[in-house]
Amino acid sequence: MIFIVWIGFTETVRAQFYQTTSASVRFYSSAPVEDIEAISKEGISVINSKNGDISFKVKMRSFRFEKALMQEHFNENYVESEIYPDATFKGKSIGPIDTTFGRTQKVVFKGVFTVHGVSKERELPVIIKMSDDGKIMSLSSEFRVKCEDHDIKIPKILWENIAEVIDVYVNAEYKIISK
């Protein structure tokens, strides 16, 4: 009995949180007239590998565009980043996260994805790869966001410039938090 408690105790004490403050989030809009790409390397996120909790946040203002005017329009006219500064995802993995060293696996996170102040229930597929020393958890994900779902309006005259569905790519290296 004591032994079981002891195991439980060490399990709790052993680190189970992974964090990053430099997650890369890239999105891509492909439309007849132009392709638009933006990237942020300032996403922050925490994963609890024990219970599968994940929280992810990226500041809309941290996205950089090739054209400065596009960046301004993105913030001012589309996502209104002064009113809705962040995009967030909060959820839980469906099934356990295997943290065996060197292991690569597919995990689906189910939770609430919020952009432009509008929240949607989403299931986002990710690939998680544990480093050989178990200290780094690499996560990559690819999913699509429909502008309409988040009340991001594209004027009709600009439909040829801006796609209605945006491809999003997330890449992050989480470091283990040791206690």
Partner 1 sequence: MKRLLLILFVAMFASGYAQDVDSIMANLSEQEDYKVQATFKSPRLVLLQTNETQKAKNLAFWVGHRFGDIGGEFGSSHTLYGLDLATDLYLGFDYGITDALTVGAGRSKFNESYSALVKYRLLWQEDKGLPFSVTLFGQSSWITREPFSNNEFKDEGDRINHLIQAIVARKFTPGISLMISPGYLFRPEAQVQDAGDEQNLFALGIGGRFKVLKRVSIITDYTFVNGLSRPDDLETEYHNPFGVGVEIETGGHVFSLNFQNSRYITANNFIPNTTKSWSDGGVRFGFAISRNFNLGPRERDDY
Q: Which of 26, 27, 36 is nearest to 158 (CA)?
A: 36
Q: Is 28 in the site for partner 1 (CB under 8 A)?
A: no
Residue ranges with strand state E in the chain? 17-30, 35-48, 53-59, 64-65, 86-94, 104-115, 118-130, 136-146, 165-177
**Residues facing 118 on adjacent strands:** 115
| Residue 99 identity (one-letter amino acid) | T
Q: Quick one: which of 106, 121, 133, 157 contacts partner 1 (CB under 8 A)?
A: 157
Within residues 104-123, the interface with partner 1 by CB under 8 A covers none
Which of the residues 51 through 90 are near partner 1 (CB under 8 A)?
53-55, 57, 59, 61-62, 64, 66-69, 71-73, 75-77, 80, 82-83
Q: Residue numbers of the site for partner 1 (CB under 8 A)?
A: 1, 5, 8-9, 12, 17, 19, 21, 39, 42, 44-48, 53-55, 57, 59, 61-62, 64, 66-69, 71-73, 75-77, 80, 82-83, 153, 155, 157-158, 161, 177
